[in-house]
Structure 1
Amino acid sequence: MPERVHRPAIRTLRRLSGVLSVNRGNWQWLDQKPLPLKILNRSLWRTAEPSFNYYIMLFLSSVIATLGLLAGSTAAIIGAMIVAPLMGPIVGMAFAITMGNRRLLKRAGLSVATGALLTIGTAYLLCQIVGINTLNPEILERTRPTLLDLAIGLAAGAAGSFGKTRREVADALPGVAIAVALVPPLSVIGIGLAFGDSSIFFGSSLLFLTNLAGIVLSGGLVFIWQDYGSMKRARKGLTASTATVLLLGVPLGFAMKDLIIEERARTLVGRLIREETLTFSETDIRRLRVAAVDGALQIDLEVAAPEGSIARNQIELVHQFLEKELSRNIVLDVNVLAVEGFEIGTTDELNNKKQSEKGEADRTDVEQSEVEPEG
């Protein structure tokens, strides 16, 4: 069964490679040969080693990632992705299943497992030390993976594996590490444990497993495409990887469906609130968030309005209107920021002042014109 699934894809890739290899001129890089098997095996064996340097770099990466997540610093999180050496052992796992190399698979798997535990533990301890218990967008973004994240993991695994087979494209590997983001989800797992929030823990765990499974599956297919290993050797490993991806695809698919529903609902709710309600039509809407929770739509709305201009009965009418228009149960949470305005002077006073100043200027001109010049 797995051979029927994977052979057509690999055969297509090889045909495409053959077509591209006939190009010349600026396309000659497409005809470059992959690394010899011994050299690639030695390289991946080194990167999969659970060495002291590996753990030091991973520890520092987890420190940067955790502090960046707590501070909401995107730049720090990107830096942690570049520093993290976790991509190497995972690509080593992909190579091991294509070659049927159990020693390399155990070595790389040990590095990934212990590295993940180190990252989670570091994040947990840092949260306890720092004492920040606030969830920001950088943390929340890594708790709701969808099929899009699986696609990113598959693409990153293919890019990382292909980059390992070519010296000429090795410079692109840091970009692959940034794209797939392995350490930040692990740090969020530790943050979720420190906060005691199960939704953060399970959401970020799903994201990491999604990235891991996607990299191993697509990486293994790329190695076979490049004539490393064989389908016979890789059959068990690819079967397990495919089954894992399909299993993870179920919750990811539901999350994707919820994301689409929320986005459409947010657009519709925003239009209805701004255009179809008198209560909020002329207010300053600062924040609008829509989320699907237990079959209902949770709408969080924050508006700026003069104090006393919005009453509770108006909010209830808006709630009834939205439930009728959307045909769904609505949980409406409205936060009104009181805005106080000041106006110094009236319009009549300003007009009288301008007319008075103009009259004085006219009298001055008349007096100066009546004075005859001497001599």
Structure 2
Amino acid sequence: MRYLEITVPDGKRRAVLDILEEEGVDYVVSDETSGRGYTAVVRFPLPTRAVEPVLDRLRRAGISDDSSVVVINAETVLSEQFSTLRDQYSQGGKGARTSRQVLRTKADELTPPFTIYAVMLLISAVVATAGLLADSPAVVIGAMVIAPLLGPALAANVGIVTGDNRLKATGFRYQFVGVTIVVGASIVLATLARFAGLEPAGVDIVVATELEERVSPNLFSLAVALGAGIAGILSLTRGFSEAIVGVMIAAALIPPSAAVGITVAWGMYGAAIGAAVLVVVNLLSINLAALATLWIAGYRPQGLFEVSPTRKPTYTYATIFGVGLLVLAAPLAGVTLLDFHTTELESSAENEVEAVLNESEYEHLQNEDVAVELDGNYPIQSIDRVIVTVGGEEPGPESGLADRLYEAIEPHGDESLVVEVQYVVAEQRGEETETQRVTVRPSNGT
């Protein structure tokens, strides 16, 4: 329930009261004597679902943006006339749909002052970068919690569908600046960590910090961002927890933005491009999902002369988001296909190795591991080699086994497939166990 207080402009008093009477609203009206061009102040309760249509009618009757309209929550309304009005607006479904006017206010309130926004994102960037470098999921989650990214994403799209250009511009500006702050801060911190020797020299930072999913993203990455955009709008319109949804949006933006900074600091520009693509894709996905959810839910001007000004911008932005998403989704599709192919090759290789080692001449050997390695050329990698690890009691390679395994595995890969066989022998000496490892390639040179 809501309680409204509206100042009525000079000459509009009768029209406003007629609308309220037609709607069956139980109102109170008093004279306005400030001399500012208003003749009355009218106060009345409304069911939440009735706020938007009633305000639309009053706007067409002459309640312009210059008038003062106050909407507050009402705990209880004891009135038979209000009960009738509530029953009338509860038809057609349950749930309280937030009015368009309140929606703009809530989206604006979720966008903090720029100084606070920048400082909080700076802190979030430092925490996220430190968490990724330390390979600590708990620290990265902490960075997501403090990132104030929900408001800008929602404000931009609420501004589009309601024709609020100030809110739209603020939302998009905050999103762009926010991502820039995170990337810049992560570059600085990661560079300091690198030259301070906090990460071992000569290691693949992507592998060491488990960044593969962020520097070489696949199509499944879209699910998080699309879900975050939809959930963000539902939290705003249906009263769900904005804090939880804010973490979801931050999860789609903060870690990949920090990954861009880390890989740039390490000079891995291919990986940085992959992470940057993920950031842009997630931004487009969040905004497209939010915009579509708002439009489908009917958050747009409903009047005869109000639909056209917002319909065209909404379609324009939706097209921009959609086309951009389709273009950038192409490399993600390539990574997804590679993931499927890698999994299929690993499974086939596992079966072939088991079959070969079950042959009588190799039955004294055991299959320790079968792994498919990629070439590390981010963001779109390719299969580099298949490494087969076998164990036995005798040290040294088994004659002909490497060629035999290559012949069995090669049909499942391409012509340039490399197969390596590693022999692991454990020797027991007292209470200590020593492991010897020998790597052998097939004699055909592949």
Q: How does 1:283-298 map to 2 (within 5 A)?
A: 283=366, 285=368, 288-291=371-374, 296-298=383-385
2:234 maps to a residue whose letter is F
User: 1: CA distance between counterparts of 2:404 and 2:393?
Assistant: 19
2:397 alignment counterpart: 310
| More divergent stretch after superposition (54-63 vs 325-334) | 325-334
Query: Counterparts in 2 of 1:360-375, with a 5 A limit?
Result: none
Aligned with 2:335 (options 245, 250, 255) = 255
SS of 1:196's equivalent? coil
The alpha carbon displacement at 1:190 in A equals 0.2
* Letter of the 1:263 counterpart: T
CA–CA separation in structure 1 for the residues paired with 2:124 and 2:94: 36
Higher fraction of strand: 2
Report the counterpart of residue 72 of structure 1 in structure 2. 135
| Aligned counterparts of 1:186 and 1:89: Cα–Cα separation in 2 | 17
The alpha carbon displacement at 1:221 in A equals 1.0
> CA contact under 8 A between 1:160 and 1:173: conserved in structure 2?
yes
Q: Number of residues paired by the alignment?
A: 315
Partner of 1:226: 297
5 Å-filtered alignment, 1:26-45, equals: 31-45=94-108
Contact 1:163/1:169, CA 8 A, preserved across alignment? yes
Map 1:1-375; keep pairs closer than 5 Å. Answer: 31-49=94-112, 51-131=114-194, 132=199, 134-135=205-206, 136=208, 138-170=210-242, 172-174=244-246, 176-177=248-249, 180-229=251-300, 231-277=311-357, 282-283=365-366, 285=368, 288-291=371-374, 296-301=383-388, 308-310=395-397, 314-326=401-413, 328-334=415-421, 336=423, 339-342=426-429
Distance 1:295 1:52 in 2: 44
Distance 1:256 1:224 in 2: 31
CA distance in 1, matches of 2:142, 2:399: 47
Q: Which has the higher helix share?
A: 1
For the 8 Å contact 1:186–1:204, the answer to whether it is kept is yes
Distance in structure 2 (CA, Å) of the matches to 1:338 and 1:56: 55
* Counterpart position of 2:13: none
How far does residue 60 in structure 1 lie from its aligned partner after superposition?
1.4
What is the CA-CA distance between 1:121 and the residue it aligns to? Answer: 1.6
Q: CA deviation at 1:267?
A: 1.3
Preserved contact between residue 123 and residue 187 of structure 1 (Cα < 8 Å): yes
Secondary structure of the 2:371 match is strand
The question of whether the paired residues in 2 share the 8 Å contact of 1:145 and 1:207 is answered with yes
What is the CA-CA distance between 1:302 and the residue it aligns to?
Answer: 5.2
How much does 1:286 deviate? 5.0
SS of equivalent to 2:419: strand
Please list the CA deviations of residues 160-191 of structure 1 after superposition, one character each: whole Å capped at 9, or x if unmatched. Answer: 1111112244354245336x431000000001
Q: Deviations over 1:230-257 (max 9, x none)?
A: 5444111111111112212222222221
Q: Cα gap change, 1:275/1:57 in structure 2, threshold over 3 Å: closer, same or farther?
A: farther
Shift of 1:218: 0.9
Structure 2 distance, partners of 1:163, 1:281, is: 62
The 3 A distance-change label for structure 1 pair 223 and 261 is same
In structure 2, what residue type is equivalent to 1:220?
L
SS at match of 2:395: coil
Q: Percent identity?
A: 23
> 1:77 offset after TM fit, Å?
1.4
Distance in 1 of aligned mates of 2:248 and 2:224: 10
The question of whether the paired residues in 1 share the 8 Å contact of 2:256 and 2:278 is answered with: yes
Tell me, what secondary structure is at the counterpart of 2:386?
strand
Shift of the alpha carbon at 1:111? 1.4
| Larger RCO (CA under 8 A, 6+ residues apart) | 1
Measured in 1, the distance between the counterparts of 2:326 and 2:240 equals: 34
1:187-222 deviations in whole A, cap 9, x for unaligned?
A: 000011011112210111111111111111110011
The amino acid across from 1:170 in the alignment is: E
Give the whole-Å Cα distance in 1 for the aligned partners of 2:133 and 2:425: 30
Question: Shift of the alpha carbon at 1:317?
Answer: 4.1
Taking structure 1 as the reference length, the TM-score comes to 0.74
Question: CA offset at residue 106 of structure 1?
Answer: 2.3
The residue number in structure 2 matching 1:354 is none
CA separation of 1:327 and 1:242: change in aligned 2, threshold 3 A: closer
Contact 1:94 1:215 survives alignment (8 Å) = no
Please, what TM-score do these two structures have when normalized by structure 2?
0.63
- C-alpha separation in 1, matches of 2:372 and 2:137: 21
TM-aligned CA deviation for residue 129 of structure 1:
1.8
Matched with 1:5 is: none
Amino acid at match of 1:234: T
Aligned-residue offset at 1:87: 3.0
Compute the displacement of 1:312 (Å).
8.4
CA contact (8 A) 2:128 2:143 kept: yes
Q: CA deviation at 1:284?
A: 5.7
Instruction: Give the partner amino acid of 1:329.
Output: S
Distance 1:337 1:192, change over 3 A: farther
Deviation at 1:86, TM superposition (A): 2.0
Q: What CA distance in whole angstroms lies between the structure 1 residues aligned with 2:245 and 2:221?
A: 19
Relative to structure 1, is the Cα distance of residues 104 and 56 closer, same or farther in structure 2, using a 3 angstrom cutoff?
A: same
Q: Deviations over 1:133-182 (max 9, x none)?
A: 6333531121122221123321221111111112244354245336x431
